[in-house]
Amino acid sequence: MFPFGLFPPGLGLGPLLGGLDPFGRDPFNPQTLVGRQRVARREYEALERDMQRGKALFTTTTRAGPGSASGSAAQLRNLRPLVMRLPLRPFTPLHVPAPPGLGLLITGVMLVLESEEEEDTACPLVVYNACPPKAGLRELDRLYPVGTRLAVKEPHFTIFADGTQGIRVDNPSDIIFLPADAAGAASGAGEREGSELDVAACADPQALRQRGNQLFKEGDWEGALHCYERCLELEPEDATAHNNRAAALIELGHWEQAYLAAGRALQLEPSNSKARYRVARTLLQLRCYMPALEHAKAVRQQLPKDESAKELLRAAEALAAQAQGQYDMAALLGAKQAKQTARGKPDGSKAPALADWVGPIEVFASPTAGRGLRTTKAVKAGELLLVEQALAAAQMPANRMDLHLDFGSMRMNKGSQQQLAGELVLVAASSALDRQRVVSLYCGEDATGAQAVPAELQPLQSEAELGAALDAAQADAAQNAGPNMQRALAVVRWNAWGSSGGEQDPALSRHGERGGEDSTVWALACAANHSCSPNAHIVFVAGAVFLRASRAIPAGDEVFVTYNEDALLLPLRKRRERLRGWGFHCRCARCLAEEGLPGGVEEGMEKAYRRLCALPPRQAAVGGRELLREVQAQLSANEAALGSALSAGGEAGPGRQQAMEWGLACVLGAYRLAIACAQVAEDKQTTLELQRTCLRIITAVRPGCVEHVTVAAIHACDAGGGMHAMKPGALKRSGPAKQALTLALGASKTRYGRELSEAAALSLLNRQLQHGMRG
């Protein structure tokens, strides 16, 4: 069907036969890429970067066969770049049922790749997990338009059922989409070869430095690094080479090595401002904020007119203040911030957007499950507990939840899990400290036993602490393998959360620049266990997680978040079903209390609510009053049923009132419906009463959630007689309007920070209302 001139003779079928790459290595084992095979790793990374820049669009080898024992730099250098482009629209997606029992539908897309270098040369490529199940041709055209230029990492060659040869990709992150203007870049790689210095053989430090600087200017950080390192082999005390090496390592995102290199340069030349700048810059990235500030001050003194020194100092001051727990939430929520998705991404110029901070919490052996978080002192509602940047994040397409969610479990689908796991492996490979964080995460093997917060989870206070942490982490990395893909997948499965770009929360929408959902793993926030009546909540701001208490928590009590916001409004059995994807049967205080209720009370209530919702619209159109009567009658019947169930001894432990509110949570929607009816009927008194009931239920189940703030804001607005009630002066009034506004301000501060001024909390409430009105 297609002309196949693509595969060079002698191509090994190792990948197909043994799951190994052309060098006979297991591609899922990070040791293949890092650690002991350092030379191979460097070469490999250079190839990866070349692929990103469109220089090597597709790589394979003519040499290695199934018998090759291990990779070497020489073999890697023999990889041939081939330029590929999509010539045809994609084929129909293939819906492949997984083995019986798994209940999965794997979706694959069949593409045809064409070589740009050799005419009439094409080959099929099948990508699994890269499009939503049941995607149609139009969707595929959008995802893979004709003419797309792409690179495939570590291609696995296969023979399809009809005998044709092609490439199969299981992990969509192995596909790199290239900008259209990458055209011609591939040939550039060949051109450069001729002019390239033989770095390994060169014994002239001056020539090596010059060549390194030239490559650096061209953006070939890896090539530059190679030159500087050869230079250092010849002149180990060359401060400039150490300093330049630090610059290249910064660009590559190898912060730890960059810090050590810049530190060495500074040691050799204590007055070298560039070296000090880089020390400060890397310290900020390594979460060592106070020492970074000291260095940044010194650089500013040395270079009073230099803009980047000024910028660095400003960033260091802001981050050092945040590292003491001082976050200007009003500014953060009001100001437009560049979204940072993952710490440690290569970026030589910018400091991190936010500092990490570990507040009054610690990891402990939880009576609930394995490790958990607990408070180290009594905290109040809205108090900040933790700020943390994502350990790894995988960006998902904007406004396309279907591309990364499994709607059954409401968790990431396999493709997204693999993408994030791949990120985790890379993070662990490029940083010994992050590697330790990754391996410390729960991966389903053993959920018991206490583990103290490893020191490196806390932002470090001094360079001595950092040095010790680095030594320990590097020694650990040398002795123990890092996470392989399998382990990383387990970490993702048990720990990853979606961190929305602010879509669900209008107050945060300024941060949702991409409007998409990222899948993220956090080193410390992920130690929090779940409860169906949590006492803490998470807000994502500028790519960081802000964990806050949503109620007062006594010292030493466990801190609980929820793993599934929507499940909290479901009856017990359904809630547990929703959480099954997390691999546990929830036995939190609320679940235990509801277990005590005679069978089906809540579900009976939920059914009644559904009946209400299904009432013919004609009836609603007749007027709110009639429907309101019906809804209210049903709600009273529900409350009575729940009340008598609790009196019959169902209430276990918590107060009767609290158990009542918990039980009513599953019919919260019916209260909302009743409020809408009361508004249509212009029955203000009933509206306000029902709003208060709603607020009581939300406060019992989920204080600090978006809905808490929204309902409280609407209530304050209605109680005060309109939007004019949402101005600072309204607090001077008395009676129910003031009470409602005070409640609303409390809700806003609980969610966004008790330290917020009243004006800031009010402006966030107004944002919710305006958003609601627009909706």
Question: CB of 526: closest distance to ligand SAM in angstroms?
Answer: 5
Stretch that binds ligand SAM, among 385-393, 578-586, 696-704, 717-725 (CB under 6 A): 578-586
Surface-to-core class of residue 231, CB atoms within 10 Å of its CB (0-12 exposed, 13-18 middle, 19+ buried) = buried
- Which residue type does 379 have? V
- Between CA 147 and CA 399 the distance in angstroms is 24
Of 321-380, binders to ligand SAM (CB under 6 A) are 368-372
Applying CB under 6 A, among 16, 447, 676, 681 the residue interacting with ligand SAM is 447
- Between CA 263 and CA 467 the distance in angstroms is 11
Of 625-684, binders to ligand SAM (CB under 6 A) are none
Question: CB of 585: closest distance to ligand SAM in angstroms?
Answer: 7
Applying CB under 6 A, among 224, 239, 539, 588 the residue interacting with ligand SAM is 588
Shorter beta-carbon distance to ligand SAM: residue 44 or 563: 563
Size of the site for ligand SAM (CB under 6 A): 20
The encoded tokens of residue 143 equal 């995802």
Tell whether residue 495 is a contact of ligand SAM (CB under 6 A): yes
H or E element that contains 502: none
Shorter beta-carbon distance to ligand SAM: residue 369 or 398: 369
- β pairing state of 517-521 and 497-500: antiparallel
- Which residue type does 285 have? Q
Q: Which residue's Cβ has the minimum distance to ligand SAM?
A: 370
- β pairing state of 165-169 and 122-128: parallel
Tell whether residue 454 is a contact of ligand SAM (CB under 6 A): no
- Between CA 159 and CA 167 the distance in angstroms is 8
Question: CB of 525: closest distance to ligand SAM in angstroms?
Answer: 9
Tell whether residue 592 is a contact of ligand SAM (CB under 6 A): no
Applying CB under 6 A, among 10, 270, 583, 721 the residue interacting with ligand SAM is 583
Question: CB of 352: closest distance to ligand SAM in angstroms?
Answer: 24
Indicate the SS3 state at residue 311: helix
Shorter beta-carbon distance to ligand SAM: residue 10 or 583: 583
Shorter beta-carbon distance to ligand SAM: residue 371 or 754: 371
Indicate the SS3 state at residue 500: strand
Applying CB under 6 A, among 582, 683, 736, 758 the residue interacting with ligand SAM is 582
- β pairing state of 165-169 and 156-159: antiparallel
In this structure, are residues 604 and 596 in contact, taking their beta carbons and an 8 Å threshold?
no
Question: CB of 556: closest distance to ligand SAM in angstroms?
Answer: 17
Shorter beta-carbon distance to ligand SAM: residue 274 or 487: 487
Tell whether residue 450 is a contact of ligand SAM (CB under 6 A): no
- Between CA 236 and CA 225 the distance in angstroms is 14
Question: CB of 439: closest distance to ligand SAM in angstroms?
Answer: 12
Question: Positive or negative, the Cα torsion across 87, 91, 95, 96?
Answer: negative
Of 370-429, binders to ligand SAM (CB under 6 A) are 370-372
Residues in CB range of 341: below 8 A, 6 or more apart: 390, 393, 395, 518, 520, 543
Question: CB of 527: closest distance to ligand SAM in angstroms?
Answer: 5
In this structure, are residues 373 and 527 in contact, taking their beta carbons and an 8 Å threshold?
yes
Tell whether residue 586 is a contact of ligand SAM (CB under 6 A): yes
Shorter beta-carbon distance to ligand SAM: residue 144 or 497: 497
Question: CB of 569: closest distance to ligand SAM in angstroms?
Answer: 17
Question: Positive or negative, the Cα torsion across 155, 156, 159, 162?
Answer: negative
Instruction: Classify residue 107 as left (phi > 0), alpha (psi -120 to 50) or beta.
Output: beta
Applying CB under 6 A, among 23, 221, 228, 442 the residue interacting with ligand SAM is 442
Question: CB of 642: closest distance to ligand SAM in angstroms?
Answer: 23
Number of H helices, E strands in the chain: 28, 23
Question: CB of 436: closest distance to ligand SAM in angstroms?
Answer: 15
- Between CA 537 and CA 525 the distance in angstroms is 11
Stretch that binds ligand SAM, among 303-311, 577-585, 647-655, 732-740 (CB under 6 A): 577-585
Q: Which long-range contacts (CB under 8 A, 24 or more apart) does 471-478 make?
A: 473/432, 473/433, 473/435, 473/436, 474/432, 476/432, 476/435, 476/436, 477/35, 477/432, 477/435, 477/436, 478/35
Site string for ligand SAM, 517-556 (x = CB under 6 A): ---------xx-xxx-------------------------
Question: CB of 706: closest distance to ligand SAM in angstroms?
Answer: 22
Cα-atom radius of gyration of the chain, to the nearest Å? Answer: 29
Per CB under 6 A, residues contacting ligand SAM are 368-372, 442, 447, 494-495, 526-527, 529-531, 582-584, 586-588
